[in-house]
Amino acid sequence: MTENSLRALEWLIEAGANEAVGEVPVDRFGLAGAQAADSPPPVIAARAPAPPVTGPKPQARPDPRPASPAADATTLDELRQILLAFDGCPLKRTATNTVFADGNPAARVMLIGEAPGAEEDRQGKPFVGASGQLLDRMLATIDLDRSQVFISNVIYWRPPGNRDPSPSEVAACLPFAERMIELIDPRVLVLLGGAALKALLGRAEGITRLRGQWLSFTTARRAYPIDTMATFHPAFLLRTPGQKRLAWRDLLAIKKRLAAAGP
């Protein structure tokens, strides 16, 4: 067993997944007499793939907000250069580094957190502190590592003392996050925590209400939405380990959606 799978197993056990049970309850007393009570439940045929979408091609809608320099980027590298030259967010003045992104730009999964913490600020990379280590273990439970995902944040500079970013700081950074998602064009977008959910989907309901549901992300430039799931932020799970059970359920749903989405 590799180091990663061992750590993933530890995470599962901590999350309460210490028995090999299925998602759907099985009435074993009600099973036909010929079937022993402890024999496996009948195999249910996989659902047929959804038929191809027909009809008129969805149109991108105009964006009413003032233009941001982020919109000019045609590659990820250009976006990084534009962000490094951008002075529209005051958090940049107190931060040590700009924390742009990490992982594989060709990934099918993109994860977005809130803002860099102290360790991320020091290293200039997202999710490298304690919550990043938990995130790596969470990803390992669905057989993913950083070479198979792309990770960034809504905010690119550490807020002093890890305070919550203000609405105007979020508004200044948001066009960069949106352009980054457009450029990566993932199959599945994962929003880590309520701040990313609120910033990118503008939903008033909190993370507890919306986590685990399939939502859609789109921008003015995109004709098609991206399958999006919000789940608990790893920092919250470190403080509230009892909720890992629900995060694990979300991860399984993400794994399933990725398998169904094809390459």
Within 4-43, the residues that bind ligand URA by CB under 6 A are none
Binding mask 97-116 for ligand URA (x = CB under 6 A): ----------------xxxx
Q: Site size for ligand URA, by CB under 6 A?
A: 13
> CB 48 → ligand URA: shortest distance, Å?
39
Per CB under 6 A, 120 contacts ligand URA: yes
The residue among 126 and 175 lying less far from ligand URA, judged by its C-beta, is 126
> CB 67 → ligand URA: shortest distance, Å?
27
> CB 23 → ligand URA: shortest distance, Å?
29
Select the span of 31-39, 128-136, 209-217, 251-259 touching ligand URA (CB under 6 A): 128-136
Per CB under 6 A, 186 contacts ligand URA: no
Select the span of 9-17, 43-51, 61-69, 120-128 touching ligand URA (CB under 6 A): 120-128
Which of 126, 175, 186, 194 is the binder for ligand URA (CB under 6 A)?
126
Per CB under 6 A, 127 contacts ligand URA: yes
Within 200-239, the residues that bind ligand URA by CB under 6 A are 235
Mode of pairing for the β-strands spanning 188-192 and 101-103: unpaired
Per CB under 6 A, 159 contacts ligand URA: no
Per CB under 6 A, 153 contacts ligand URA: yes
What own/partner pairs with CB < 8 Å and gap ≥ 24 does 249-254 have?
249/212, 250/211, 250/212, 251/138, 251/141, 251/142, 252/23, 252/142, 253/212, 253/214, 253/229, 254/109, 254/142, 254/188, 254/190, 254/229
The residue among 199 and 235 lying less far from ligand URA, judged by its C-beta, is 235
Per CB under 6 A, 157 contacts ligand URA: no
Interface residues with ligand URA (CB under 6 A) are 113-117, 120, 126-127, 129, 131-132, 153, 235
